[in-house]
Structure formats: structure tokens, C-alpha cells
Amino acid sequence: MTHPPRPQPSTQSILRHWQEAVPDDRLAHLVKDATRALVRALQMRLAAHAVSFGHWTFLRILWESDGLTQRELSEQAGVMEPTTLSAVRAMERLGYVVRRRRPGNRKKIYVFLTPKGQRLRNKLVPLAEEVNQIAVRSIRSTDIARTRKLLLSIIENLARDEHATDMRMPSTRELGRLNGTRRKLLSSPSLPRPRPRSS
């Protein structure tokens, strides 16, 4: 049985949460909620053009670098390849993109915008610009510049940490295999069972 998607909290409820419930919560949560508010504002505008936020993410990348492989699209969007594949197929049905192989490389599939996908740029980019203008309304330009610098410093710090620890984001499939292996080990009869505590 499939359940309907859980409704997203309104931006007003996100704001109340920060003002009343957790004004001093972690910075990561604040950045995430600011992103949610920005995404929500754009989603509502994109809906008027029957474009999903997921498709906007890929269109925006292709407007800058048309003719990427599905893997490159995944990396730039920060999503797993199966997610990219299903989005690209849907965008192909809508006539926004086509998938083609290049001569001399029959293995890789490249994603190209159609004229229809290209034309969406003039309709949708102004919506994102409008959301950005609303978000920084009545904020001084010096504060905006400081915020940009701060957020870039956060990204730099985390990039340095990722590089230093040589960590890598596992795919959903790899995580599934790891969890499956862990469950098998835990349910194995050969493992010693924890002894009950004596009272």
C-alpha cells in the first residue's frame, strides 16, 4: 500500500520553528531550512509552468553545459545515477532533452537539450532571479556579501575535510549491500548471543 507524500511544512511554520522552538539550533539545520524555503518559493513558481524542481535542477545544469553524460549530470546535481536516469527519461517524454551516443564512443550516453528545453531558460531563469531578490529584500549589500563569504568558507572547510579523510559518498546500492551484509551477520546463528544479565 502506497502512502501519499507527506506535506512539506510551510515557510511560515519553518520560521516559527526557528523563532520559538530552537532559536540556537545547529547552523547546518538553519542552512538546510533556508534552502527549503528558497526551494519551496521556486517550486511554487515552476508549478505555474508545469515544471518540477527536479527537472529544473537538470535543466539548469544543461543550460550551462549541454551534452553531458548521465554520470556527469548526476555528479553536478548531487544525486544518484538511478535518480538521474528516471528524471532524464521523464524529461525526454516531455520533449526537453534527447539522449544520444557520440560517434567513436558507443558506450556513453549523452544528454542534449531540445529547442523546447532551451526555450524554457527564458521562462524559468527569471523565476529563480525573482526568488533570490525576494530572499534578500531589505538586507544590506554588505551583509549579503558577508553571508556569501561565510557560506563559501563553510564549503571550503568541508571540502578540505572530505579531501583529508578521503571519504566518498556510497551509492544507494552499496548502502543496501552493506545493510544486507550487516543484517545477515547479526542474524547468523554462529554469532555468540549476548548473555542475559544476572539480577
Which run of H or of E encompasses 137? none
How many domains does the chain fold into? 2
pLDDT per position as a tens digit, 34-55: 999 999 999 999 999 999 999 9
Integer angstrom CA distances of residue 183 from 141, 169, 176, 196 = 53, 21, 10, 21
156 and 72 share one domain: no
Q: Are residues 156 and 121 in the same domain?
A: no
Q: Please report the pLDDT score of residue 147 as a whole number.
A: 94
Q: Give yes or no: residues 39 and 91 share one domain.
A: yes
Task: Give the structural domain span for 42.
Answer: 11-135
pLDDT, tens digit (0-9, with 9 covering 90-100), for 88-144: 999 999 999 999 988 877 788 999 999 999 999 999 999 999 999 999 999 999 999
Please say whether the beta carbons of 129 and 149 come within 8 A: no
Same domain assignment for residues 107 and 15: yes
Q: Is residue 79 part of a domain?
A: yes
- CA 165 – CA 54 distance, rounded (Å): 31
pTM of the predicted structure, to 2 decimals: 0.69
Region of residue 58 (left: phi > 0; alpha: psi -120 to 50; beta: else): alpha
The span from the CA of 106 to the CA of 108, in Å, is: 6
From 129, 121, 120, 139, select the one nearest 38 (Cα to Cα): 129
Shared domain check, 161 and 67? no
